[in-house]
Structure 1
Amino acid sequence: MKALLAGFRGFAAYFGGVLGADAYKKYLEHHHASGHDGLPMSERAFWRDHSDRQDNNPQSRCC
C-alpha cells in the first residue's frame, strides 16, 4: 500500500510540474538563490503577473 501511495504522490508531483502548479515554489527558490535584496512577490501577485505574461505572449501556452 505504501508503494502505491508513493507512486501516486510521484505521479501527482510530476503532473503538477507539467501543468506549472509548482511555478511559485520555483520562483521563490530562484529569488533566494539569485541573491535578490528585496522581498519576493506574494503568491497572489506572482500568479497575476504570470497570467499577464501569458496574455501578452500567447505563444507560450497551448490554448
Structure 2
Amino acid sequence: MARGFRLSSELVAGVAVGAVIGWGIDQLLSTSPWGLIVFFMLGFAAGVLNVVRSAGVVPDKKPR
C-alpha cells in the first residue's frame, strides 16, 4: 500500500508542478492558456517517467 501511495504521489506531483509552472508562465507572458497546456503535458510525461522508474519496469543499464 505504501508503494502505491508513493507511485501515485509522484504522478500527481509531476502534473501539479507542471501545471503551476505553466500557469506562472501564462501570467508573466500573457500567453493563456498555452503555457498551462504545454507544461501540464510535460508534467504528465515527467510524472509517468518517474512512476515507471520507481516501479522498476525499466531495467538498469549494464555497464560495458
Normalising by structure 1, what TM-score? 0.37
Q: Counting helix residues as a fraction of each chain, which structure ranks higher?
A: 2
